[in-house]
Amino acid sequence: MPVTTDASRASRTSVGTHAVEVIGVGKSFGPVRALDHVDLHLDDGEFLAVLGPSGCGKTTLLRCLAGFERIDEGRLAVHGRAVALPGIHLPPHRRQVAVVPQEGALFPHLSVADNVGFGLPRRSPRAQRSRRVDECLELVGLAGLGQRMPHELSGGQQQRVALARALAPRPPLVLLDEPFSALDASLRVELRRDVRDALHADGATAILVTHDQGEALSMADQVAVMREGRVHQVAAPEEVYAAPVDAWVASFVGEADLFPVPDASADGLVDTPLGRVEVTGGVDDATHVLVRPEQVVLGADGIPAQVRTVDFHGHDALVTLALDDGTLVHSRSGAHPPVVGARVGLRVQGACRAVPGGRPGPAPAPTPAR
Amino acid sequence: MALAATAVALLPLGYLLLRTAEGGLPTWWETVATERVARLTATSLLLALVVTLACLVIGVGSAWLVTRSNTPGRAPLAVLLALPLAVPSYVAAFTWVSVSDLWSADPGARFEGFGAAALVLTLYTYPYVYLPVAAALARVDPSQEEVARSLGCGPWRTLTTVTLPQVRPAIAGGGLLAALYVLADFGAVSILRLDTFTRAIFTALSSGFNRSMALTLATVLVLLTLAILWGEGRTRRAGARFSTATVSRPAPALDLGPWRLVGTGTLALVVLTALGVPALSLARWIAAGSSAGQAWDRIGGAAWGSLSASLLGALLTVALALPVGLLAARHPGRLSALLERAAYLAHALPGVVVGLSLVFFGVTVALPLYQTTWLLALAYASLFLPLAVAAVASAAAQAPPSLEEAAQSLGTSPARVFTRVTLPLTLPGIGAGAALVFLTAMKELPATLLLRPTGMETLATRLWSATGIGRYAEAAPYALLLVALAAIPTWVVVRRTGIVPAGAAGPLPGRAVPHPADPAPVEPVVSP
């Protein structure tokens, strides 16, 4: 998927060639700039996650795509058809963009089967309708529950029905608005996998909006990281994690320790508080070296440090260490972490990434293991 | 649309002020600054004060006993305590007078005056306090009380420092309703012959045809009503934020020890007095009446009159309530809040004032409407608009915007979204609101007396005229019918407060389960 932050180039090169196009879209609520020149492209069958902290504009983007909000500038196209330009607004029901809302929003007065069949063409034959309804229910693992009423389902089942309802009319685009946030952690992992599989099995093009980096990284083909109305980076999950475009993305997506360096523009060996490390992927304005916790290996020798805290997750543990000069470093250790207060040695394994600093965002809280 | 609907609700008030302004302030003051008006004011305010205080004692006490103590028999008592709401005040007054007439040793000593009015009004008004307070007590998060107990507060201190402050809005709201109800009551004070504003206004108009006197008295009554509303609003502002946590477990009941039997006895005494006297009286007079033979065609005619006028009133009210309620539910903002409040202001106006104002309006402005059922329907709409607005707003909450958005995103046009999603979800609620207005209008008395077309009789007016000339046996069947009708909206209110044991009030299968975070509306629906 070509990614560009240059709006003019995007509109010149890509009109009509993608399933979904978001080109230079801007949207303000009074003085608040909710979307600031947002550019995104999706190919057919692709699954994009829009990841960002709350208030970053990701839900506004979704509501603009669905047609619930008007855009101020730019252009939205679905399947080669412009659905929104400044002053032109295709109403939601004519966009063929199906939404899976946060709470599911099943129609409480309709049975599960009627909910799923809601968006199917009214005049299609009954047998054809019920075949597609059954197919979609099976896709989300709820075969045979068509006659239930929504309130007879658990929260996870309701979300599955909401997904089936969105998939049933085979829309060119499915939008998922934090569909797992109201669910138990244990349920979430299973449902994520099933939802991703159902979307792939149906060949649907989908955008997931979430503030949960684990959700975005584990489910999507592509991840767009948003902050304050801007898209910072769009890339495959591995790339966003391994090669973040700036310090903010680095610290928002996963645990990160960032060490300022005088000159990281060239690849090679750089001195950091963790010793001399190998730096790759340096760009001109790089100011920080990114070290991921799994790169910090604890042992008897190396840079001396003291264990401050241990967040034990079962399969691994996140260890916070203090160097002698007070610098804090994180390390992901195995199932047998050192005890608090122990003195250990540490060293950095593998090459590190140099990133531009930008304005560092508030460090996200460590995501608990799920 | 919403503006126009609110304007209709405020028409009586506006017209009243207009007419008063025409007369000029000096003339108005001349009529007001008399000994008679001073006496009326004192009587009305004292009655409101005494009854409200008594209602607060009975209402809060019984609410606490049935929700928070181990008083034996509290489950059936919880429902029985709400039932006096089903007895319209003039029916209650009629039954008390007719019972006391029957067994009184001295035929000259009729049951009437200040004490009689205060007793009757208290016994049939305290549910306005009891219901919201019981509902609020049942919803208070028990964990807060547990925290207080764990921090060393005894049961009594926990009650006064943690529990009661949380239900204070319910207590204040219930007290306000009771005070407004007493101030607006016309039937009971008239039958019990206590001179208050409502009775004086009616007498000035109907027997003396003294229109300017009636108008002036009405403006003073409106001022008193506004003063009470204002005072209550000031107490409310102090503590606005309360936990709305959904309660997943019932609060623990306090063991009263041997006192629990005293609790049962007191509650039973209240219920027996409030319900026993009407039951006894009606049974006695129905028996007497059926032996004397009743004019069934008269009852039929009155029932038809009640039915047609109330149906028209209910339809008009709901038509006006739709825009206001939808606006309030969908676009909450300053304008919609203002419109909603204006509709409630009209609700606080005594029926006799609304009736009086519309009589003038009909005679001078809308002559074609005068002496038609339409003007009566307009009065009902003005009086009961808030009931319908509340019903529409809570019905609209059954169809949140996310459902409509989901439907639209599936390619459904706005018109079809309305017919397939919004309408099926909101229609039951709106229908219930219409039924509520219909039943409430059936037992409205003062505005009906003033505005009914000549020759038209309703159940309430028949009861009124029969009581007025002491024909209790003739009045009894109307009283019975009215109580039966009023029992339906009462049951709806009782169910909504959630004090009825689970199962009896569970959601219907196949229907939307209300979101637990939504506070159940506890606005009592039986209007003065």
Tell me, what's the pLDDT at A267?
A: 66
Q: Which CATH number belongs to the domain containing residue A350 in this structure?
A: 2.40.50.140
Tell me, what's the pLDDT at A58?
A: 93
Q: How far is B70 from chain A (nearest CA, A)?
A: 34
Lowest mean pLDDT among A2-16, A105-119, A192-206: A2-16
Asked, for residue A367, whether it belongs to a domain, the answer is: no
State pLDDT tens for residues A201-235: 888 899 999 999 989 999 999 999 999 999 999 99
Pair (A180, A318) in one structural domain: no
Q: How far is A152 from chain B (nearest CA, A)?
A: 9
Pair (A84, A106) in one structural domain: yes
Query: What average pLDDT score do residues A311-329 get?
Result: 89
Q: Which residue has the tokens 């075949």?
A: A131
Subunit contact B405:A92, Cβ cutoff 8 A: yes
Set of chain A residues whose Cβ sits within 8 Å of the Cβ of B420: 118
Q: What is the CA radius of gyration of chain A?
A: 23
Q: Which CATH number belongs to the domain containing residue A230 in this structure?
A: 3.40.50.300
The residue extents of the domains of chain B are 34-195+261-293+487-502
Set of chain B residues whose Cβ sits within 8 Å of the Cβ of A107: 403, 406-407, 421, 425
Of A242, A268, A290, the domain-final residue: A242
Set of chain B residues whose Cβ sits within 8 Å of the Cβ of A101: 402, 405-406
Which of B403, B413, B513 has the CB atom closest to A93's CB atom?
B413
CA closest to B408 among chain A residues: A93
CA closest to A110 among chain B residues: B510
Which of B400, B407, B511 has the CB atom closest to A118's CB atom?
B407
State pLDDT tens for residues A266-301: 667 888 888 888 888 766 777 888 899 999 988 888
Which of B414, B425, B513 has the CB atom closest to A151's CB atom?
B513
Subunit contact B410:A107, Cβ cutoff 8 A: no
Tell me, what's the pLDDT at A254?
A: 87
Question: What is the helix (H) or strand (E) element at residue B403, kind and residue range?
Answer: helix B401-409
Asked, for residue A248, whether it belongs to a domain, the answer is: no
Tell me, what's the pLDDT at B152?
A: 65
Question: What is the helix (H) or strand (E) element at residue B444, kind and residue range?
Answer: none
Asked, for residue A365, whether it belongs to a domain, the answer is: no
Query: What pTM did the predictor assign?
Result: 0.68
Distances (CA, A) of B150 to A35, B145, B503: 50, 9, 33
Pair (A265, A139) in one structural domain: no
Count of domains for chain A = 2
State pLDDT tens for residues A45-64: 999 999 999 889 999 999 99
A258 touching chain B per CB within 8 A: no
Pair (A103, A24) in one structural domain: yes
Q: How confident is the model at residue A334 (pLDDT cuts 50, 70, 90)?
A: confident
Tell me which amino acid residue B216 is.
T
Lowest mean pLDDT among A306-315, A322-331, B365-374, B514-523: B514-523
Tell me, what's the pLDDT at A240?
A: 93
Task: Count CA atoms within 13 Å of residue A251 on its CB side.
Answer: 20
Pair (A176, A223) in one structural domain: yes
Pair (A108, A206) in one structural domain: yes
Pair (A201, A55) in one structural domain: yes
Pair (A219, A133) in one structural domain: yes
- Tell me the C-alpha distance between B104 and B469, whole Å: 19
Q: Which residue has the tokens 């012959």?
A: B193
Of A185, A213, A242, the domain-final residue: A242
Q: How confident is the model at residue A86 (pLDDT cuts 50, 70, 90)?
A: confident
Tell me, what's the pLDDT at A12?
A: 35
Pair (A274, A158) in one structural domain: no
Q: How far is A115 from chain B (nearest CA, A)?
A: 10
For residues B19-56, b (16+ Cβ closer than 10 Å) or e, as one string?
bbeeeeeeebeebbeeeebeebbebbbebbebbbebbb
CA closest to B421 among chain A residues: A107
Residue of B262, B368, B381 lying closest to B313 (CA atoms): B381
Task: List the A268-272 sheet strands across, edge first.
Answer: A257-260, A286-291, A352-356, A275-280, A268-272
- Tell me the C-alpha distance between B490 and B127, whole Å: 10
Of A210, A242, A274, the domain-final residue: A242
Which of B411, B421, B510 has the CB atom closest to A107's CB atom?
B421
Tell me which residue range forms the domain holding A262: 255-356
Query: What average pLDDT score do residues A322-333 get?
Result: 90
Between B89-103 and B114-125, two packed helices, what is the crossing angle to 10 degrees? 130
Pair (A188, A316) in one structural domain: no
Determine the Cα angle at A146 with ends A140 and A149, to 5°.
110
What is the separation of C-alpha B330 from the centre of its chain, rounded to a whole number of angstroms? 26
Spell out the per-residue pLDDT of chain B, length 528, in tens: 677 777 777 788 888 888 777 777 787 787 777 888 888 889 999 999 999 999 999 999 999 998 888 888 888 888 889 888 888 888 899 888 887 766 655 655 678 889 999 999 999 999 889 988 888 888 776 666 766 666 666 777 777 777 887 788 888 888 888 888 898 889 899 888 888 888 888 888 877 667 778 888 888 888 888 888 777 666 655 444 444 444 445 666 777 778 888 889 999 999 999 998 888 888 888 887 765 555 677 888 888 888 899 999 999 999 888 888 877 777 777 776 776 667 667 667 888 888 888 888 888 877 787 778 888 998 998 888 887 887 888 788 777 888 888 898 888 888 888 888 888 888 888 888 888 888 888 888 888 988 888 888 888 898 888 888 878 888 888 888 888 888 877 777 777 666 554 333 333 333 333 333 333 333 333 333
| DSSP code at position B254 | B
Distances (CA, A) of A272 to A290, B114, B307: 10, 91, 89
Retrieve residue B386's tokens. 């808030």
Give me chain A's average pLDDT, please: 85
Tell me, what's the pLDDT at B440?
A: 82
Pair (A268, A148) in one structural domain: no
Pair (A107, A225) in one structural domain: yes
Q: How is domain B34-195+261-293+487-502 classified at the CATH fold level?
A: MetI-like fold (1.10.3720)
pLDDT surpasses 80 at A156: yes
Q: How far is B493 from chain A (nearest CA, A)?
A: 24
